[in-house]
A = this chain, B = another copy of it.
Amino acid sequence: MAGQDFRFGIASSASYLPRRAVTADELAALCSIPADLVAARYGVRRRHYAAPDETSSAMAAWAAGQALAEAGWEPASLDVIVGACGVMEQPIPGTAVLVQRRLGLGSSGIPAYDINATCLSFLMALDRVLAGFALGEWRRALIFSADIASAALDYSDPEASLLFGDGAAAVLLEADGPHCRLSHRFRTYGEAAEACRLEAGGTRLRPRDDLEDFLARSRFRMNGRAVFSATARQFPGFLEEVLGAAGVAPDGIDLIVPHQASAPALEHLKRSLPGGHARCVDCFADVGNLIATSLPYALHLARGEGRLTPGSTVLLIGSSAGVSLGGAVLRL
């Protein structure tokens, strides 16, 4: 069955942005940099930051509830709920369980679990859900992403901290819809694991052992040059592979739905494909890198703008901490 096409439909989608929009002026103040640099150097217009009640599971459940209403699906008709966040709301239990409960499905028994590939979690969750569709295991799936990057930003590093914002997105998928995934590729290069990291919050660093160290490492750290170099080295061959596996030429891509890693990464991507600037979903200035939420957020945005036209060919693509590269070609 290698090389088969994976069929599916997008029944609906929704997103949630935190109420608080942080302006470029406020961001400049947080970073102690001149206000004009925020837009001019970093390409940032605003970011949304979550309030305490806007937890990952709350934002995801709001988006999922809206998507369920739009699709006209009973929540209990879901066969599976897959969480695809970059960083979890809490270690135990996982975010998918918390979302299941918030959707009023706490006694339903509907399977709820999480898949994590940092910024590419949605792509990998989609991959495993499509496998379930192809095998006849599920008919209806909810995949959600939700991330609160603002929990771990270090404003003494504007280059890293200005990239990120908070938000959530939910996509309802059904088996046997009109769409077809023509190819999927994912490559991990762990040699660049230090390039993007958030170390505190797991089992390795413990606040009681060395609180100062724990606090220092509870901020996201990025070596921009290392990330760019690790990603750029692999990207051309990777793009060729994803397109080649789909049997699609570079000029055959009608729409690019990318992870919103950074302004330079998006520019690099747009230059990699013919007509890339017109064909690429770009919401970096207004919402930024939402970690795993960027990809489904951009997909929902494109859908709302009527850009997911029947018969068109769509490239989902991005990079994540790891580093990993991931991509899929869809025929709508």
Residues of A within 8 A of B (CB): 1-4, 55-56, 81, 86-94, 96-98, 100-101, 105-118, 120-121, 124, 128, 131-132, 134-137, 147-148, 151-152, 186-193, 196-208, 211, 214-215, 218, 220, 234, 320-324
Contacts and interface: CB of A to CB of B under 8 A. Distances in A.
Nearest to A197: B92
B151 A321 contact: no
A90 B198 contact: yes
A190 B111 CA distance: 10
Nearest to A138: B2
Given A2-B136, A134-B135, 17 more contacts: A3-B136, A55-B203, A90-B198, A90-B199, A92-B220, A93-B196, A93-B197, A101-B190, A106-B190, A109-B188, A111-B187, A111-B188, A113-B117, A116-B116, A131-B131, A151-B206, A207-B215
Contacts of A90: 197-202, 204-205
A89 B203 contact: yes
Contact of A92 (B81, B92, B136, B321): B321
A297 to B, nearest CB: 17
A203 B134 contact: no
A324 B107 CA distance: 11
Contacts of A190: 93, 97-98, 100-101, 105-106, 112
A6 to B, nearest CB: 9
B92 A87 contact: yes
A154 to B, nearest CB: 11
Contacts of A152: 203
Contacts of A191: 101, 106-107
Contacts of A134: 1, 135
Contacts of A148: 203-204
27 contacts: A1-B135, A81-B188, A87-B203, A88-B202, A89-B202, A89-B203, A90-B198, A90-B201, A90-B204, A90-B205, A92-B196, A92-B220, A93-B118, A93-B193, A94-B118, A97-B321, A101-B190, A106-B193, A110-B188, A113-B115, A113-B117, A113-B124, A113-B188, A113-B324, A151-B206, A152-B203, A201-B202
The residue in A97, A106, A208 that gathers the most chain B C-beta atoms within 10 A of its C-beta is: A97
Contacts of A96: 188
A218 B201 CA distance: 9
B98 A193 contact: yes
A120 B56 CA distance: 22
Given A187-B111, A188-B100, A92 B203 contact: no
A124 to B, nearest CB: 5
